[in-house]
Chain A
Amino acid sequence: AQKITQTQPGMFVQEKEAVTLDCTYDTSDQSYGLFWYKQPSSGEMIFLIYQGSYDEQNATEGRYSLNFQKARKSANLVISASQLGDSAMYFCAMRGGYNTDKLIFGTGTRLQVFP
């Protein structure tokens, strides 16, 4: 069975510093995708970044990068130059297998950025 694990219920970071949010996954599929979403207090889920299992390069989107270590089954999110507006819940998710778009989510990490 597929599983996403986020072991950090909460993280603090000072403004302008970088922070890493951990995510490990478990799957027997060869082809899968990994996602990170941001959920501010308003509740909406904002797509941040995607990494395919066959992508050789780590995905990057602006200040977000995904540290993909396939052998360790980890897909950590790195946020550089944190901003106060980055304070939110962050969810790691996985889409597994062929012909499926279904996502399995982790329990999330609450990030708080302080001045």
Chain B
Amino acid sequence: SQTIHQWPATLVQPVGSPLSLECTVEGTSNPNLYWYRQAAGRGLQLLFYSVGIGQISSEVPQNLSASRPQDRQFILSSKKLLLSDSGFYLCAWSVGNEQFFGPGTRLTVL
């Protein structure tokens, strides 16, 4: 069966520090991968999606970036975090009609 992992589960970072969130998928090959952000009390906003290794599409201009170095690995990064980057970050994968989400990383920028 397919499994999606995210780490860390929670993270507290100071403003201006770098960020690296990792997402890996097991049990499937060549999935479409996604990064979403959920601000407190809000719905999900798509940040990036990838249809293959090295292929990244950005949905929202910001100080975040994404990379896909391997088929089942998706990384969300920032060189300098802003206060507005705080939120709940969810990685997702899809094959066919269904889209499945990881457990999420709760990021607090102070």
User: Which residues of A pack against B, CB within 8 Å?
Assistant: 33, 35, 37, 42-47, 50, 52, 91, 93, 95, 101-108
Contacts and interface: CB of A to CB of B under 8 A. Distances in A.
A12 to B, nearest CB: 18
Interface residues of B, number: 22
Contacts, number: 51
Q: Which 6 A-B pairs have the closest CB atoms?
A: A45-B101, A105-B43, A105-B44, A101-B94, A43-B104, A107-B43
B57 to A, nearest CB: 9
Interface string B85-106: 0001010101001111111101
29 contacts: A35-B99, A42-B103, A43-B88, A44-B104, A45-B92, A45-B104, A47-B98, A47-B99, A47-B101, A50-B97, A52-B97, A91-B44, A101-B32, A101-B34, A101-B49, A101-B94, A101-B99, A102-B59, A103-B34, A103-B44, A103-B46, A103-B99, A105-B43, A105-B44, A105-B45, A106-B43, A107-B42, A108-B42, A108-B43
Nearest to B42: A107
Contacts of B106: 43
B46 to A, nearest CB: 6
B29 to A, nearest CB: 16
Contacts of B104: 43-45
